[in-house]
Amino acid sequence: MHQEPYPQHRPATQPVTPQTSIVAIGSLVASILGLTVLPTVGSLIGLVLGYVARGEIRRDHHLTGEGLATAGIVLGWVGVALTLIALLLAALLIVFGLALVPGLRLCPILARGF
């Protein structure tokens, strides 16, 4: 009696589901925190994580979240720009505020203008 062997079935390969990059999510969260709770620090962390995530996503095609990384980068730069504007305004306020104090000669050129 001849018995045929059972056909060998390979396990079906399941399609790889794309994973959202954790670093991209972290970038967006840090950048939002940089605009609210952690000015400058959160923005800088968001920038670094955003650029790292974008490079990681471009190398590994199973990762998604490039939009999240880009949003983190944009919000990070917005936070840095707002910090620079605030520092500039504070410096101008100090310089011109001190120039308005009667009898205080911070700079003779500024004192003549008022």
If one compares 46 and 103, the residue with the highest pLDDT of the two is 46
pLDDT of 96: 79
Q: Are 29 and 69 spatial neighbours (Cβ–Cβ below 8 Å)?
A: no
pTM of the model: 0.74
Segment 61-71 mean pLDDT: 95
If one compares 11 and 55, the residue with the highest pLDDT of the two is 55
CA–CA distance, 32 with 15 (Å, rounded to integer): 34
What percentage of the chain has pLDDT greater than the value 90?
A: 63
How many beta carbons lie within 10 A of that of residue 97, not counting itself?
10
Reported confidence tier of residue 17, pLDDT bands at 50, 70, 90: confident
Segment 51-59 mean pLDDT: 97
pLDDT of 105: 63
For residue 55, pLDDT over 90 is answered with yes
The residue type found at 13 is: T
